Amino acid sequence: MAIPRKPAPGWLSQHTLPTTFYAAVVLVILTLTGMFGNFAEKDVITGRLALHLVALVLVLGVPAWFVVRPLVAAPAAQRLLNGALCGGLLALVLATMVFIEASLESIEGLVFVFQNYRPLSPAGLLTYGFSGDGLVFPGLLLLILTGAGIGALLALAVRLPGAVLSTAVISAALLVVFGLMALQIRAVISLPEALVLLLTLSGGYGVARWLPAGGVWRRAAGGAAAGLVAGGLVLLLVNGGALAPDGLLAADAAVTRLLLLPELPRLMVLVLVGLAGALLTLAAPALHQAGWLLAGGLVAFGVLNASGRMNDVTALLTLLIFAGTLLLPRWLLPAAAADHAALPPAQRVTVNRCIWLGGLAVLLVAPVFLGQYITNVLDLVMLYIIMGIGLNIMVGYAGLLDLGYVASFAIGAYACALLTTPSVITLGCVDTATVAGLRHYEMCVGAIAGWPGIGILTFWQALPLAILASACAGMLLGIPVLRLRGDYFAIVTLGFGEITRVITRASITEPLLGSAQGISPIPFPVINLSAVGGPVINLDSAQTVYYIYVGGVLLAIFVLTRLAGSRIGRAWRAMRADEDAAEAMGVNLVRMRLLAFALSAAFAGMSGAFFGAQLRGIFPDSFTILVSINVLSLIIIGGLGSIPGVIVGALMLVGLPEALRELQDYRLLAFGVLLVVAMLLRPQGLIPPAPRQLATPPAGGAA
């Protein structure tokens, strides 16, 4: 036990100065990367708040928060002193840097070393516009006062209830994200649509919630009725011209999809939304909250859409909406939980199924609303979810640390690409004239003369072959490493990943794999229903490929959940816990390992095929070790062996960085730091799998 050598000084907390020192070091480094200068060009709220001010508040506020949080029980004066001291000192460091920069003859030497540095003093970025001789000082003073002020404010805020604090922080964070992404999410949904959807949902919710003695069916009927009423209102508004481009509730026709539907489908959609609102009253609390957050998000999208870039008014509105949707469920949840608990078990299951179906429906219509950019990000997230589930078989279940997962991904992608484009595999030895302009025929001349080719396949024919190729390759790659344990296995698989990179890039494989030019164009998948009188659907955009990804994710989740409880899943877990004991219990290690290799490679191959079809071309640069690392990180961050963990991990590690493209290189820095911090705070992952119940307890027992 450590005994403090000297009593802590009365007013100054012993954490204050060390924390401030570390924060100051980080602050100096970040400033030297030119963060403030680079962020100044990015507006969060047009003309009001640029990103560098957000960064300033963060770098001053976060350390101050860590200083005052342990003092939550201390008297206000002590908290104020420590908080203001920390914030003020940090601001002083920053002010010193600005001062030094302002007094330098030229910053050439500085920029030689720190290439990204942007001067701060001429524009008065951090000094309230004060710049130039003599004028810098008032600005610096203001900067220091700002720091102290932020610290003092946090010192006072630390006593606020947790709900208020978290709401404030999350709403502010969402506001910044929405502000940065305003241009990308502009096309998501129009304000009238958002309002109609929200009113219908909450109408259904309200009717069902306060219906006297409402059973399931009565509530459902109430919700549907609310939807009908909403539909009627919209009908009146549309017919009255209020929703026309120059009407009362003017909507941008380009993003108005719901309101331009024919009357009957529109009415049906609204009835369904009302029904969902009614069933929400009976749902489990988590779903319940998710429903409200979704509604709040929709309205916020609508508000943003109405104004283009974020301005003062929309910023305030967005902030209020987020705060509202975060706080509202706190009042409504206890009632919902009570409603949920009051249901008989059979009905509870039915209701939850309905809600899940509703969620699925939302998932399916999402790309219609979300627009190209966000759907693209979602596609990427789902790509990584499929791979994460596949890798989970290896790492989470079978306990084999695979660092070369990208190899299977690449094999799937290249196999599918080769089978669906003109190549030596599909066309064989064709006369040069007939394939003029295509690159891949030369190979035939020497190696396999007379090979007729198998003909160009469609995506759907190639997909199973690609998956099969990937699974076989995974098994083949697994053979040499079968007997290796632990880290030897890891480094050899890392080697496989690097070998993939070398092979796809090498000049000797160029006739087949295209070297650095890769293979393109790959034809997009087509769903041809003309044989049964249906349409021909081209899956040629992010929004349509989305459905392939949804299918892939659902398939992967289905396969994994079925496997997890099966004999194979249990054998894998036994193998992971102790190989020797598992073998003694009759687990065939070789067979089980090979099966794990094959299955996990099959999932990677599937996502590879999807990936190529989505990008319409594949290039060696897409298959770097970063893919392996990303997948591994996301399953460990999420919690090894857990499917919700994979989804959350993918959203965090793939979705978030993609969404924060505005932050450029800083997002990768943040990615690295996030990996470290997440592991330090939650070594078991964000959502670790629930401990498995090994045997069902005897009925009536445990009394």
Task: Name the strand (E) or helix (H) holding 232.
Answer: helix 216-240
Helices 285-307, 312-342: inter-axial angle, 10-degree rounding = 160
Residue 116 in contact with other proteins, rule: CB under 8 A = yes
Residue 584 in contact with other proteins, rule: CB under 8 A = no
Pairing of strands 526-528, 49-50: unpaired
Q: For other proteins, which residue of 228, 343, 674, 686 counts as binding (CB under 8 A)?
A: 674
**Could you give the string, one character per residue 295-334, with x where binding to other proteins holds by CB under 8 A and - elsewhere?**
----------------------------------------
CB 90 within 8 A of CB 148: no
Return the structure tokens found at 657.
């960085």
CA distances from 313 to 167, 183, 306, 309, 319 (A): 20, 17, 11, 11, 10
Q: For other proteins, which residue of 283, 494, 564, 568 counts as binding (CB under 8 A)?
A: 494
Judged by beta carbon, residue 507 or residue 693, the one nearer other proteins is: 507
Give me the phi and psi of 618, to 5 degrees please.
-130, 145
- Closest separation between CB of residue 665 and other proteins, Å? 6
Q: For other proteins, which residue of 15, 17, 32, 259 counts as binding (CB under 8 A)?
A: 32
Judged by beta carbon, residue 429 or residue 484, the one nearer other proteins is: 484
Task: Name the strand (E) or helix (H) holding 156.
Answer: helix 136-157
Judged by beta carbon, residue 452 or residue 683, the one nearer other proteins is: 683
Q: For other proteins, which residue of 491, 539, 555, 557 counts as binding (CB under 8 A)?
A: 491
Residue 472 in contact with other proteins, rule: CB under 8 A = no
Give me the phi and psi of 537, to 5 degrees please.
-105, 120
Q: For other proteins, which residue of 253, 254, 673, 692 counts as binding (CB under 8 A)?
A: 673
Return the structure tokens found at 484.
């290796």
Find the farthest-apart pair of alpha carbons in the chain and give their distance in angstroms, rounded: 91
CA distances from 246 to 115, 251, 664 (A): 51, 8, 39
Residue 2 in contact with other proteins, rule: CB under 8 A = no
CA distances from 45 to 36, 38, 322, 326, 372 (A): 16, 16, 16, 22, 23
CB 38 within 8 A of CB 119: no
Residue 29 in contact with other proteins, rule: CB under 8 A = yes
Q: Tell me, what DSSP letter sits at residue 686? A: S
Looking at 77-85, 275-283, 339-347, 488-496, which segment touches other proteins (CB under 8 A)?
488-496
Place of tokens 């020497």: 446
Residue 22 CA to residue 16 CA, distance in Å, equals 10
Q: For other proteins, which residue of 487, 529, 534, 538 counts as binding (CB under 8 A)?
A: 487
Judged by beta carbon, residue 174 or residue 395, the one nearer other proteins is: 395
Q: For other proteins, which residue of 62, 272, 361, 675 counts as binding (CB under 8 A)?
A: 675
Residue 505 in contact with other proteins, rule: CB under 8 A = yes
- Closest separation between CB of residue 94 and other proteins, Å? 17
Q: For other proteins, which residue of 680, 695, 699, 702 counts as binding (CB under 8 A)?
A: 680
Q: For other proteins, which residue of 168, 250, 503, 589 counts as binding (CB under 8 A)?
A: 503
Instruction: Give Cα 222 to chain centroid, integer Å.
Output: 36
CA distances from 417 to 8, 397, 522, 612 (A): 68, 31, 6, 7
Q: How many positions of this chain bind other proteins (CB under 8 A)?
A: 55
Looking at 284-292, 308-316, 416-424, 676-684, which segment touches other proteins (CB under 8 A)?
676-684
Judged by beta carbon, residue 363 or residue 679, the one nearer other proteins is: 679
Residue 6 CA to residue 18 CA, distance in Å, equals 16
Residue 21 in contact with other proteins, rule: CB under 8 A = no
Return the structure tokens found at 47.
């003309």
Q: For other proteins, which residue of 318, 600, 633, 642 counts as binding (CB under 8 A)?
A: 633
Q: For other proteins, which residue of 188, 234, 640, 648 counts as binding (CB under 8 A)?
A: 640
Residue 672 CA to residue 675 CA, distance in Å, equals 5
Residue 401 in contact with other proteins, rule: CB under 8 A = yes
Place of tokens 């840097």: 97
- Closest separation between CB of residue 501 and other proteins, Å? 8
Q: For other proteins, which residue of 33, 352, 541, 544 counts as binding (CB under 8 A)?
A: 33
Residue 338 in contact with other proteins, rule: CB under 8 A = no
Judged by beta carbon, residue 199 or residue 395, the one nearer other proteins is: 395
Task: Name the strand (E) or helix (H) holding 50.
Answer: strand 49-50
Name beta bridge partners: 50.
43
Task: Report which residue type is found at 111.
Answer: V
Residue 483 in contact with other proteins, rule: CB under 8 A = yes
Name beta bridge partners: 527.
537
Name residues whose C-beta falls within 8 Å of residue 314's C-beta, 6 or more positions apart in sequence.
303, 304, 306, 307
Looking at 172-180, 407-415, 434-442, 660-668, which segment touches other proteins (CB under 8 A)?
660-668
- Closest separation between CB of residue 34 and other proteins, Å? 8
Residue 600 in contact with other proteins, rule: CB under 8 A = no
Residue 502 in contact with other proteins, rule: CB under 8 A = yes
Residue 113 in contact with other proteins, rule: CB under 8 A = yes
Among 79, 51, 52, residue whose Cα is nearest residue 64: 79
Residue 118 in contact with other proteins, rule: CB under 8 A = no
Name residues whose C-beta falls within 8 Å of residue 194's C-beta, 6 or more positions apart in sequence.
298, 299, 301, 302, 303, 305
Residue 668 in contact with other proteins, rule: CB under 8 A = yes
Judged by beta carbon, residue 600 or residue 633, the one nearer other proteins is: 633
Residue 110 in contact with other proteins, rule: CB under 8 A = no
Task: Name the strand (E) or helix (H) holding 173.
Answer: helix 162-180
Residues within the interface to other proteins (CB under 8 A): 29, 32-35, 113-116, 395, 401, 479-484, 486-488, 490-492, 494-496, 498-499, 501-503, 505-508, 625, 629, 632-633, 636-637, 640, 665-666, 668-669, 671-676, 679-680, 683
